[in-house]
Amino acid sequence: QLQLQESGSGLVKPSQTLALTCTVSGDSISSIGHYWSWIRQHPGKGLEWIGNIYYNGLTYYSPSLETRLTISVDTSKNQFSLKLNSVTAADTAIYYCATAPNSAYFDYWGQGTLVTVSS
Amino acid sequence: DIQMTQSPSSVPASVGDRVTITCRASQDIDNWLAWYQQKPGKAPKLLIHTASTLWYGAPSRFSGTGSGTDFTLTISSLQPEDFATYFCQQANSFPRSFGGGTKVE
């Protein structure tokens, strides 16, 4: 059974960098056709797609975030990561990692981690 | 970018009711649509993909129809565990986008 687990700082100061890692178990992050995704949800709000990465490093980013965003993959650790620079209070959200077969739908999700941007 | 609009934003319902939720895309997305269920404090769960294909483990009382710009999710007979928020998502193009959600309460 594929499982994903987010980890990282739950509190980030404004203007600093938000950094999260998703550890994948039950499958190889190098599996053909699987894209690895970040999605966030502002408190009490809807879902916002952040970006996808393939095991070879191919990325797709949300245009609204791409100037501040880096998603990377570490196949040796079966992990992928998110870095979001210059954060503001508007980046406070629950951040989920998920997997997307052929980059389309999100079939397995992590439990989510709340990141608060505050001084 | 493709905008996804769900209606209604909330629907009062009772156990046994037939519930229908609508999702409209701002442009043609063929059948590249998924539906998710989310309960408070939990991650969303995939229910349906490619507009009408039930995901593994999703109960058969859930069904999806539509293509192009208009889609529906139907719960044929609402069960107590179905009280949740439902989101649609388009997978036709990047950036991926979600509807605003429909709360079944």
Does an H or E element contain B75, and which?
strand B70-75
Q: E strands along B9-69, which residues?
A: 10-11, 19-25, 33-38, 45-49, 53-54, 62-67
Report the DSSP beta bridge partners of residue A59: A53
Contact between A63 and B95 using a beta-carbon 8 Å cutoff: yes
Of the pLDDT bands very low, low, confident and very high (cuts 50, 70, 90), residue B105 is: very high
Can you tell me which residue has the tokens 């950094």?
Answer: A19
In this structure, what are the phi and psi dihedrals at residue A77, rounded to the nearest 5 degrees?
-105, 0
Extract the tokens encoding A107: 């079939």
Cis peptide, bond prior to residue B59, ω within 30 of zero: no
In angstroms, the Cα distances linking A3 to A28, A84, A111, B34, B48 are 11, 24, 9, 21, 20
pLDDT > 90? residue B70: yes
Cα–Cα–Cα angle for A81, B94, A54, rounded to 5 degrees: 35
Structure confidence at residue A93 (pLDDT): 98
Question: Within 10 Å of residue A15's Cβ, how many Cβ atoms?
Answer: 11
Q: Is the pLDDT at A102 greater than 90, yes or no?
A: no
Q: Which residues of A touch B42 (CB under 8 A)?
A: 111
| A109 with B100: Cβ contact below 8 A | no
B103 CB near a chain A CB, below 8 Å?
Answer: no
CB spacing of B46 vs A106 below 8 angstroms: yes
Q: What is the pLDDT of residues A21-64, one digit of tens each?
A: 999 999 999 988 899 999 999 998 999 999 999 999 999 999 99
Q: A63-90, pLDDT tens digit by residue?
A: 999 999 999 999 999 999 999 999 999 9
